[in-house]
Amino acid sequence: MIRVTHLMAVLALGALAACGPPPPPAEPQLGPDGLPLPTLYRINAGDQNRIEIRMLDSVNALRAEAGVPQLQYNSALNAAAATHSRDMSVQNRPWHFGSDGSSPVDRVRRVGYSGELKGEAISETYETELQTLAAWMDDPATRGVILSPEARDMGFSWFQENNGKIWWTLITGGPESVDSAAPVLSSSGTLDAADTL
């Protein structure tokens, strides 16, 4: 009987301990500079809608502040962005031309986009979509892609490698203009690979 009572007391103490506050979070690992090391931003299959909505809302908030029309997602531009993100990963370099020599103009035509390409922003990074958007806004060329007053449509997609590296592509398009200027093409991000073609 004493053993049963002892066992019940141990079980009761265990149950009470489980009701206590959670253990404190683990201390972040620090780098040689004393700052916390970054954590890997891992995108799961169920994150797609959340990321797309957050990006469109963020872009449109920036556009509203600049006094330019809101964008809407366009499935053809999304397809072109997805194709290019994966292709940049295959080529292992952030640039505007496909492994088959295609340009952004070629890619939006291939997917059947009926409007005109206004610009493309690309990035090779380990950063989140909002960190990438902030980097794009810091660069005059990619800011021009995002805030183009002629743009009405947006495509946005990414490809994440197993090591966590993300290849982001944002494409803007709109109605064909009479005085068609060359689209703005730019890359930006962690690797500071900014260029305008």
- Examine residue 115 and state whether it is found in any structural domain, yes or no: yes
Span 19-32, pLDDT tens digits:
555 555 567 778 88
- Examine residue 140 and state whether it is found in any structural domain, yes or no: yes
What integer is the mean pLDDT of 133-161? Answer: 97
- Examine residue 176 and state whether it is found in any structural domain, yes or no: yes
Name the nearest CA neighbour of 130 among 166, 174, 101.
166
CATH number at residue 89: 3.40.33.10
Give residue 126's domain range.
69-152+161-187
Q: Please give the share of the chain, as a percent, with pLDDT higher than 70.
A: 77
pLDDT of the residue at 29:
77
Three-state DSSP at 27 gives coil
**Three-state SS sequence of 76-96:** HHHHHHHHHHHHHHHHCCCCC
- Examine residue 127 and state whether it is found in any structural domain, yes or no: yes
Would you state the structure tokens that stand for residue 44, as one six-digit string?
């799961």
As for how many domains the chain has, the answer is 1
Dihedral sign, CA of 181, 183, 189, 193? negative
Confidence of residue 179 (pLDDT cuts 50, 70, 90): low
Is the distance from CB of 60 to CB of 75 less than 8 angstroms? no
Say which range, 8-12, 110-114, 134-138, 176-180, has the weakest mean pLDDT: 8-12
pLDDT of the residue at 25:
55
Give CA torsion, residues 184, 56, 92, 134, to 10 deg.
Answer: 80
Confidence of residue 39 (pLDDT cuts 50, 70, 90): confident
- Examine residue 16 and state whether it is found in any structural domain, yes or no: no
pLDDT of the residue at 50:
97
Query: Alpha-carbon distance 146 to 136, whole Å?
Result: 8
Say which range, 32-46, 86-100, 138-152, 183-197, has the weakest mean pLDDT: 183-197
- Examine residue 142 and state whether it is found in any structural domain, yes or no: yes
- Examine residue 175 and state whether it is found in any structural domain, yes or no: yes
* First-to-final CA distance of the chain: 85
- Examine residue 197 and state whether it is found in any structural domain, yes or no: no
pLDDT of the residue at 7:
46
